C-alpha cells in the first residue's frame, strides 16, 4: 500500500497455508512470581473460604508449573501484568492478586460474550471453527475507509479484538491453530511512520496489537507436545471460568497494594455493585421496570445504549459494568456506570448515565485527571463530584443535533482520548 495508508486486513488473500516453524518450548517466565504468597493473602482476607486446597489450585492456575508448563490463565496473567504494572519497583502478592482478579473478570466476560454470539463453542469444536471464520470475514467486510487517526484506531482495535477471540476459539478447537497462523500477517497494524495522522492512543493501540501478535506467534510455533498440553489445560480452565470456579476471587476486585491488605470492594461496595458478566443493560432495564421505583418517570433505554457503544469502542476486555446503589450520594441507583481501563492500565475511566428521560446528565471521570478514583467521586454529591474532577455532560436536545445519543458517545470518547490539556480546557 502507499505510504501513509494502513494496509487492510483483506488486501490480499494468502496463496496457501503459511509455513509454521516449530521452535520448541512455550514462552518462559510466565505466571505469578510467588503463588504461595497469593494463597496466603487470599486465606488471610477470606477466612470464610473453607477449602484451602481449592484456593491453592485456583491461584496456581495463574503460574507455570515446575516443568515450565502452563495454560491460558497464566499466559493472560503475564500479558495483563506487563500492561498494568509496566514499571513496578517492588512486586507484592497484592499486585499479583489484583491482576488475577482482573483476568478472571475479563475472561469470564469474554467467554460469556462469545457463547452468546456463537453458541456453546467450548463444548462443540465445530462451532469454534465457524466462529473464527465468521469473525474474520466480518473483519474483512468492515469499513476500511479513512486515513485519520480515529479511523486507524478503530481498525487496530477491531483487529486486536478479533485476535483475542481467535485465540479462545483455537483453545476450543486446536484445528483453528493453522487458520489463525495463516491470517496473523493480514492483521498486522501499519508502522507508525507510515501513517498520515497519529496520536498517543493510536500509538498505544498499535503497540498492544503488535505485542499480542508476537505472543500469539510464539505460542503457535511451540512444538506439538507443548502446544497440545497448553491447549488442553487452557480448555479446562476456560470451562471452569465459565462455570464459576474462580468467582470467589472477584471479592478482591480493586485490592490495594498496601500492607493493610484491605479490599476496596469491602470499603466501597455499598456505593456500587459490580454486575456479573452478561447481566448488563437488559437485566438492569427489566429490573427498574418491574420494581416500580421509577414510577412516573419516562425510561429512555437509548441513553444506556450509549454505554454499550462505548464498551464496543474501548473493547469488552477493558470494560466492566456497575450499578449505583441507594447508598451512593450522587450517582445512585438511578445510574449505570461503565468503567474502562486506561490505555496504560494505570487507572480506570468511568462514565455514568441514567435512563430517566430529562432527569440527569452524564458524568465522566477520566483516570489521571481527577482528584480520586471514580467510585469515591461518584459516591459524593454531584456538586462534590464535579469539584473532584467529574465532568457533567448533558444530552443535547433534538433541536441541536440529529442524533443526541451518537453525539454523547462521540463527546465521551473525545473526553477520554484527547490530550490532558484539551480535557482540562474543556474543548
341 and 193 assigned to the same domain: no
E-strand spans in 146-305? 272-274
297 and 237 assigned to the same domain: no
Of 252, 286, 321, the domain-final residue: 252
User: What pLDDT was estimated at residue 164?
Assistant: 95
Whether residue 117 is contained in a domain is answered as yes
Whether residue 10 is contained in a domain is answered as no
> What Å distances lie between residue 286 and 121, 254, 278, 289, 292, CA to CA?
28, 28, 14, 5, 11
Of 223, 252, 281, the domain-final residue: 252
CA distance 116 to 179: 23
Instruction: Cell 483455537: give the residue.
Output: 170
71 and 108 assigned to the same domain: yes
What is the per-residue pLDDT across 141-166, written as a single tens digit (0 to 9) for each?
Answer: 765 666 788 888 888 989 999 999 99
Whether residue 74 is contained in a domain is answered as yes
62 and 164 assigned to the same domain: yes
Comparing 381 with 232, which gets the higher pLDDT?
Answer: 232
Whether residue 5 is contained in a domain is answered as no
Whether residue 363 is contained in a domain is answered as yes
126 and 175 assigned to the same domain: yes
Our CA dihedral for 380, 255, 339, 420, rounded to 10 degrees, sits at 80
Of 252, 287, 304, the domain-final residue: 252
Residue 265 reports pLDDT greater than 50? no
Which domain range does residue 298 map to?
Answer: 269-425
Most confident of 83-87, 127-131, 282-286, 336-340: 127-131
Residue 390 reports pLDDT greater than 90? no
288 and 328 assigned to the same domain: yes
Averaged pLDDT, 362-368: 90
237 and 304 assigned to the same domain: no
Q: Confidence band (pLDDT; 50, 70, 90) for 51? A: confident
> How many domains, the chain?
2
120 and 215 assigned to the same domain: yes
Comparing 110 with 375, which gets the higher pLDDT?
Answer: 110
Whether residue 401 is contained in a domain is answered as yes
User: What pLDDT was estimated at residue 115?
Assistant: 95
Residue 299 reports pLDDT greater than 90? no
Whether residue 148 is contained in a domain is answered as yes
Query: Which of these ranges, 114-128, 315-329, 347-361, has the smallest mean pLDDT?
Result: 315-329
Most confident of 143-157, 159-173, 300-314, 346-360: 159-173
User: What pLDDT was estimated at residue 375?
Assistant: 82
192 and 273 assigned to the same domain: no
214 and 291 assigned to the same domain: no
Averaged pLDDT, 179-185: 93
Comparing 244 with 283, which gets the higher pLDDT?
Answer: 244
Q: CA angle 25-30-33, nearest 5°?
A: 140
Q: What is the mean pLDDT of the chain?
A: 80
247 and 345 assigned to the same domain: no
399 and 275 assigned to the same domain: yes
What is the per-residue pLDDT across 236-253, written as a single tens digit (0 to 9) for each?
Answer: 999 999 999 999 888 887
Residue 277 reports pLDDT greater than 90? no
Whether residue 316 is contained in a domain is answered as yes
User: What pLDDT was estimated at residue 259?
Assistant: 31
User: What pLDDT was estimated at residue 346?
Assistant: 67
Amino acid at each position: 500500500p502507499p505510504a501513509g495508508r494502513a494496509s487492510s486486513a483483506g488486501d490480499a488473500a494468502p496463496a496457501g497455508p503459511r509455513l509454521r516453524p516449530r521452535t520448541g518450548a512455550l514462552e518462559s517466565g510466565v505466571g505469578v512470581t510467588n503463588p504461595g504468597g497469593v494463597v496466603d493473602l487470599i486465606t488471610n482476607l477470606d477466612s470464610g473460604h473453607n477449602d484451602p486446597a481449592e484456593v491453592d489450585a485456583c491461584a496456581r492456575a495463574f503460574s507455570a508449573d515446575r516443568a515450565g508448563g502452563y495454560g491460558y490463565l497464566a499466559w493472560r496473567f503475564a500479558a495483563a501484568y506487563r500492561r498494568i504494572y509496566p514499571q513496578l519497583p517492588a512486586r507484592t502478592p497484592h499486585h499479583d492478586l489484583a491482576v488475577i482478579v482482573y483476568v478472571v473478570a475479563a475472561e469470564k466476560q469474554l467467554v460469556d460474550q462469545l457463547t452468546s454470539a456463537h453458541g456453546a463453542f467450548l463444548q462443540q469444536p465445530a462451532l469454534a471453527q465457524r466462529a473464527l471464520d465468521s469473525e474474520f470475514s466480518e473483519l474483512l467486510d468492515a469499513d476500511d475507509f479513512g486515513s485519520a487517526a480515529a479511523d486507524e484506531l478503530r481498525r487496530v482495535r477491531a483487529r486486536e479484538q478479533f485476535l483475542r477471540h481467535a485465540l479462545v476459539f483455537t483453545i476450543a478447537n486446536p484445528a483453528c491453530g493453522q487458520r489463525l497462523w495463516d491470517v496473523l500477517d493480514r492483521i498486522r497494524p501499519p508502522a507508525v511512520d507510515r501513517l498520515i495522522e497519529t496520536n498517543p492512543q493510536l500509538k498505544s493501540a498499535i503497540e498492544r496489537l503488535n505485542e499480542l501478535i508476537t505472543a500469539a506467534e510464539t505460542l503457535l510455533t511451540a512444538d506439538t507436545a507443548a502446544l497440545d498440553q497448553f491447549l488442553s489445560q487452557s480448555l479446562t480452565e476456560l470451562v471452569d471460568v465459565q462455570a464459576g470456579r474462580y468467582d470467589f476471587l472477584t471479592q478482591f476486585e480493586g485490592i490495594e497494594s498496601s500492607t493493610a491488605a484491605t479490599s476496596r470492594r469491602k470499603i466501597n461496595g455499598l456505593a456500587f455493585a459490580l454486575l456479573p458478566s452478561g447481566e448488563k443493560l437488559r437485566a438492569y432495564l427489566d429490573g427498574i421496570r418491574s420494581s416500580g421505583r421509577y414510577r412516573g418517570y419516562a425510561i429512555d433505554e437509548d441513553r444506556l445504549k450509549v454505554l454499550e457503544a462505548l464498551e464496543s469502542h474501548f473493547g469488552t476486555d477493558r470494560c466492566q459494568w456497575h450499578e449505583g446503589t441507594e447508598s451512593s450520594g450522587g450517582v445512585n441507583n438511578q445510574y449505570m456506570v461503565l468503567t474502562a481501563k486506561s490505555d496504560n492500565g494505570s487507572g480506570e475511566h468511568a462514565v455514568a448515565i441514567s435512563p430517566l428521560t430529562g432527569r440527569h446528565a452524564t458524568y465522566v471521570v477520566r483516570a489521571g485527571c481527577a482528584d480520586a478514583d471514580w467510585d469515591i467521586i461518584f459516591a459524593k454529591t454531584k456538586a462534590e463530584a464535579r469539584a473532584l474532577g467529574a465532568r457533567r455532560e448533558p444530552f443535547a436536545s433534538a433541536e441541536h443535533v440529529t442524533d443526541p445519543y451518537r453525539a454523547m458517545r462521540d463527546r465521551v470518547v473525545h473526553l477520554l482520548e484527547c490530550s490532558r490539556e484539551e480535557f482540562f480546557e474543556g474543548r
